[in-house]
Chain A
């Protein structure tokens, strides 16, 4: 009846005044919330696991929503579609550091590292704004099937390259955080020779930025520097094991008494960084083998790999830091050349470590925050709290570069 009344009122009005375009519905209903600035009309986030929202060795809708990219989009007041995964995820995140149990739905078999629940039906949209895929390196964003291709590559990109998928959104603004996986695995494993060489990284990165900008003329954005692997909480200074409390906790994880090798861990050897997973490797050793931590490669005794594998000795750390700094110098230069902003998260991440917000050795008495409030249970990926810090920093960088007025999340 109200519809009819509206029509009658409209008709009478029109008849009386002959005014042409009166009786229209409320235009406000037709208008979508506008972004805070036109440059944020369509924001896309390219990246890897951090950008995708990977935490605690897994990813699901809960962790995806905590990504800095989602927070940044909210600050921009712009639409932001991400490839939401059904619970418990693909793979479901770990929810206990010591038992390595994973998020499991009630009544379902216990989740494992190979459990994979697909995209939520509601997330199947024409375009995505978060096109980041866990695991990708600088080789992957422009490759249909890159070296880091995984099930998540298909689930998130659907048969397109990351750059193609980003361009589907006709972006006006982009953040690009690529390169972490070019050095993360080599760094935490101690096999830094497998890191992407600087010249190759430059070539790969240039292609990514070139293709992105070519497909979106006028694009603005931020290029984000690669995180320094030595700063990740998973990497524990050998010197920390001199603390009896740490040594006791490490022994608990390793399942036997742990000690520092007095030869390799002497002097500068105490500056080595030991991957927390070294302790898990000790746990897997046959019974009778000692729980010795070697701070640099040794030979003989069936333990040749340890000390090389899962350890960054000072020389390797220096080399890796230099390599990453080289990456970042190139990224900054690239940002400058294309008119993008540049954000280096390393001071922020390093500050968390030096301030004590990230424990030197995981707090095993905490099942939810053994690496502190800023890192998730895998000791590598930022937690929700860290994503907020990253988003805050990006807001500052963007406002400074583009004169916008984004408000920190």
Chain B
């Protein structure tokens, strides 16, 4: 008996990495600067007055004077659950709180048309984890994607009203995925029936797969910033896609006892009374398919476009509205290859490009310079109905944000923010969909429960200018 394929063993290393982020669409993250969070990420036209503009609009770095430094962290606490149709059971996600750092430095000599800077930020990432009895653990038991971008930046002030800027982006990404492997999807022999066709229930865990690897990629971000009138500002930015290849990742497999006994004789070695575990055990030994080996995958971190318009004509108020677009359509498949090629699979994602509307407001208390901020974001799901999975239960999201900026010691300020992310819930699947399995199945056929997600995001940023 030969196990031919490991289901979607890991479903994705990459995709792998992204669920529970819930910071933007799909596995995108927007938690880059507490001021921006508080303003509902509507900060492209009139960025926060700190060096985080290197991300939010590289061109606007020229509107800062002297040295600007900022750094901080956002904590993302995810509340996720899945209610299974067939049992009506609810399974809660157990993802640990994610900590997302950011740091920027910018210098603009007052007399210069140029500004120089460097940014470190996390525009994509994810941490997800489900309990051991979660029926979707074959899609993802635990996933961690940690990607950071480093962006040297230069901005040029064309004239008193317009600036352009940008810089290359270096991205580094590490991924770890732990996933249960389903015996029912394994073939019993070349061209033979699957164990499922011989009665093994779907969701019978007989192995745990772990994939761990790193990758790097290059891209670019550019921006345009304008102040056509004293009250109105406009801006736009473009961040290119970064294509990460996670080559030579380590793939390991551990046998998990099923404690099943063949209930009636079929074909050898499936003879009545034989432990199933002894039937599959050779696959974990030398010469078997499920031995430690190398694997690779590719995950595109898609391009982003954001444009906005801001108005500061009301005394002490700043209002801004932005439109954001992310090119998730590039995330159409996720190929995973192994040293043992029969294990190869390609996940079908078929994401769509997605859009978001971002609205933000900031009020400055005239007496002490405190900033009070609030915002709202409505983001459309990037995933089609058949790609709502435990790895990434993608769905429409609303963000409700607020925060404050507290200046102190003349050159310093502390920004704090809170964001609540809510979703309406979405039907989703806990079974795989690859080019060889469920490829043509519809969402109605695949989805077997409802995912609900929410998140609470706390962030602080300490910044200074001098």
Contact = CB atoms under 8 A, between A and B. Distances in A.
Q: Which 8 residue pairs across A and B have the least CB separation, nearest first?
A: A159-B260, A24-B424, A124-B196, A11-B357, A153-B264, A158-B199, A11-B378, A153-B263
Interface in B346-366: 352, 354-359
B87 A145 contact: no
A125 B202 CA distance: 5
Contact of A7 (B202, B203, B266, B356): B356
Contact of A157 (B202, B263, B378, B425): B263
A159 B276 contact: yes
A400 interface: no
B158 interface: no
Interface stretch (A14-22, A190-198, A245-253, A343-351): A14-22
A225 B180 CA distance: 43
Given A14-B398, A20-B400, A144-B263, A121 B196 contact: yes
Most A CB contacts (10 A, CB to CB) among B202, B276, B359, B381 go to B202
Contact of B273 (A118, A145, A157, A170): A145
Interface in A107-135: 118-121, 124-128
B265 A126 contact: no
A119 B197 contact: yes
Interface in B64-108: 85-89
B224 to A, nearest CB: 22
Given A11-B377, A125-B86, 5 more contacts: A11-B378, A30-B450, A149-B264, A154-B264, A155-B266
Interface in A1-57: 3-4, 6-8, 10-12, 14-15, 18, 20-21, 23-25, 27, 29-30, 32, 41-42
Contact of A154 (B262, B355, B379, B426): B262
B261 interface: yes
B422 interface: yes
B199 A170 contact: no
A206 interface: no
Contacts of B196: 119, 121, 124
A151 B197 CA distance: 12
A328 B294 CA distance: 62
Nearest to A124: B196
B85 A79 contact: yes
B345 interface: no
A345 B264 CA distance: 30
B139 to A, nearest CB: 13
Contacts of A150: 264-265
B413 interface: no
A32 B272 contact: no
B263 A126 contact: no
B197 A127 contact: no
Contact of A121 (B194, B201, B395): B194
Contacts of B89: 170
Interface of A: 3-4, 6-8, 10-12, 14-15, 18, 20-21, 23-25, 27, 29-30, 32, 41-42, 79, 81, 83, 86, 118-121, 124-128, 144-145, 149-160, 168-170
Given A145-B263, A153-B264, A7 B199 contact: no
SS class of chain B's interface: helix, strand, loop or mixed?
A: loop
Contacts of B200: 124, 158-159
Nearest to A79: B86
A192 to B, nearest CB: 26
B400 A126 contact: no
B135 interface: yes
Nearest to A128: B201
B198 A118 contact: yes
Interface in B249-284: 258, 260-266, 270, 272-273, 276
Contacts of B395: 25
A148 to B, nearest CB: 9
B199 A83 contact: yes
Contacts of B357: 7-8, 10-12
B201 A127 contact: yes
A186 to B, nearest CB: 22
Best-surrounded residue of A12, A27, A121 (most CB of chain B within 10 A): A121
Contacts of A15: 359, 376
Given A14-B376, A149-B264, A159-B258, A170 B426 contact: no
Contacts of A23: 378, 396, 398, 424
A20 B381 CA distance: 19
Interface in B196-224: 196-204
B108 to A, nearest CB: 33
Nearest to A122: B445
B39 interface: no
B200, B204, B381: which has the most chain A beta carbons within 10 Å? B200
A86 B398 CA distance: 46
Contacts of A79: 85-86
A158 B427 contact: no
A140 B201 CA distance: 19
A149 B355 contact: no
Contacts of A11: 357-359, 376-378
Contacts of A145: 261-264, 272-273
B432 to A, nearest CB: 13
B313 interface: no
A155 B199 contact: yes
A125 B194 CA distance: 13
